[in-house]
Amino acid sequence: MHAHDSNPFMPSFLFSANSRTGDGWQRTHVGYHATYRRINGVLENSDATLRDFWKQMLALRDQGTGLLGHPDYTPPAGASTLIYQPPLYDTGTASYQDVRRILARIHDYHIKCLGQRIVLVVGDHQTYDRMLKLKINSTSNEYSWLVPLPGEFHFKWHVTLALHRLWWKRLAGWFCATAGMIETINENSMEAADKIKYILDFYSRVCLAIITYLSKVFGAELRDVDAFLVAHAGNLGACNPPHDTCE
C-alpha cells in the first residue's frame, strides 16, 4: 500500500516519483503526515496543552499588558503600502485553475513589473492548500518566487465557532444575556459571514472576563497554576456536571 492510499486528503501527485524535493525551501526531512501527527499528539495531551494555555493567559494578566492588546510597533521602513488591483471576476479559491490565475496576476505585477524576487502570499486554508500543492508539484521554476502562508483569520473564526457550539448552553448564553448583547449574539445564526466581527469580539470579551474574574477571586493562588489545579481537582467542570453530560 502506498502512503497516499490510506489518506484521501493528500493527492497522489505529492507521492509520485517526479515530485520536486523543494529546491531548498521545502523541509524534505518532514513527512507528509507530520502535521496530522502533531495535531493528534496535541489531542492526546490536551490536559497539558490547556495548562500551558492557562499559564500563558494568567502570565499576561499579571504583566498588565492586556490580554486583548496589540504591540505598539512601527515598521522601520514606515507603514506598508496598500495596493489594490483590478478584480479577477468569476475566480474563486476552490479550483487549481482559478488559483493559477490569481498567482499569475501577482507574478505579473510584483515580479515582472516591480522586479521583486520573492512574494509572500497569504490566504485562507483552501487558498494556501492550493498554492502549496501547485508549488510542490511544479516541474519547473514557475513558482520559485512564491512563499505561500496560511492566514490566521479563517482558523480563528472556525475555532471561535467551535467554542460557540460547545459553550453556548453552559456559559456563553448566560454571559450574552447578562452583558446585554442579545441584539448581536445568538445561538443559531453566528456562522454567517456578516456575523464574524460580532462573534470574535464577544468571545474575546468572554475570555477576558473569565481571566479577570479568576484573578480577583483567587489572586496569588493562581501564580502556581499546577498547584492550583491539584488543589481544586475535586471541582466539577462545565463539561462534567453532576447530573448531565456534555453535549
| Residues 62 and 88 placed together within one structural domain of the fold | no
Answer yes or no: is 235 within a domain.
yes
Find the angle CA(12)-CA(18)-CA(23) to the nearest 5 degrees: 110
| Residues 104 and 63 placed together within one structural domain of the fold | no
d(CA 233, CA 106): 55
d(CA 166, CA 239): 9
d(CA 90, CA 86): 13
| Residues 213 and 243 placed together within one structural domain of the fold | yes
pLDDT score for 35: 67
| Spatial CA neighbour of 95 closest among 122, 124, 130, 139 | 130
| Spatial CA neighbour of 134 closest among 20, 1, 5 | 20
190, 202 Cβ separation under 8 angstroms? no
| Residues 122 and 138 placed together within one structural domain of the fold | yes
Domain boundary among 113, 133, 150: 150
Task: For residue 150, list its beta bridge partners.
Answer: 123
| Residues 169 and 247 placed together within one structural domain of the fold | yes
Answer yes or no: is 211 within a domain.
yes
Answer yes or no: is 26 within a domain.
no
210-243 in b/e form (b: 16+ CB < 10 A) is: ebeebbeeeeeebeebeebeeeeeeeeeeeeeee
Answer yes or no: is 22 within a domain.
no
d(CA 132, CA 129): 5
| Residues 173 and 245 placed together within one structural domain of the fold | yes
225, 55 Cβ separation under 8 angstroms? yes
Task: For residue 122, list its beta bridge partners.
Answer: 149
| Residues 140 and 235 placed together within one structural domain of the fold | no
Which residue shows C-alpha cell 484521501?
8
Question: What's the total number of domains in the chain?
Answer: 2
| Residues 222 and 191 placed together within one structural domain of the fold | yes
pLDDT score for 168: 93
Residue 220 is placed in which grid cell? 496569588
Domain boundary among 150, 173, 202: 150
Written as tens digits, the pLDDT of the chain (247 aa) is 333 334 344 344 333 333 444 445 556 676 666 666 777 777 677 777 777 877 877 777 766 656 676 667 787 888 877 778 788 888 888 899 999 999 999 999 999 999 999 999 998 888 999 999 999 988 888 999 999 998 888 788 888 999 899 999 988 999 999 999 999 999 998 888 889 899 988 998 888 888 888 888 888 888 787 888 788 877 766 444 444 444 4
| Residues 199 and 141 placed together within one structural domain of the fold | no
- Output the furthest CA–CA distance in the chain (Å, rounded): 67
Domain boundary among 113, 130, 150: 150
10, HSE (Cβ side, Cα atoms, 13 Å)? 16
| Residues 86 and 58 placed together within one structural domain of the fold | no
Answer yes or no: is 44 within a domain.
yes
Answer yes or no: is 127 within a domain.
yes
| Residues 114 and 211 placed together within one structural domain of the fold | no
211, 56 Cβ separation under 8 angstroms? no
198, 185 Cβ separation under 8 angstroms? yes
| Residues 146 and 156 placed together within one structural domain of the fold | no
Answer yes or no: is 203 within a domain.
yes
Answer yes or no: is 17 within a domain.
no
201, 164 Cβ separation under 8 angstroms? no
Residue 151 is placed in which grid cell? 492566514
Range of the domain at 144: 77-150
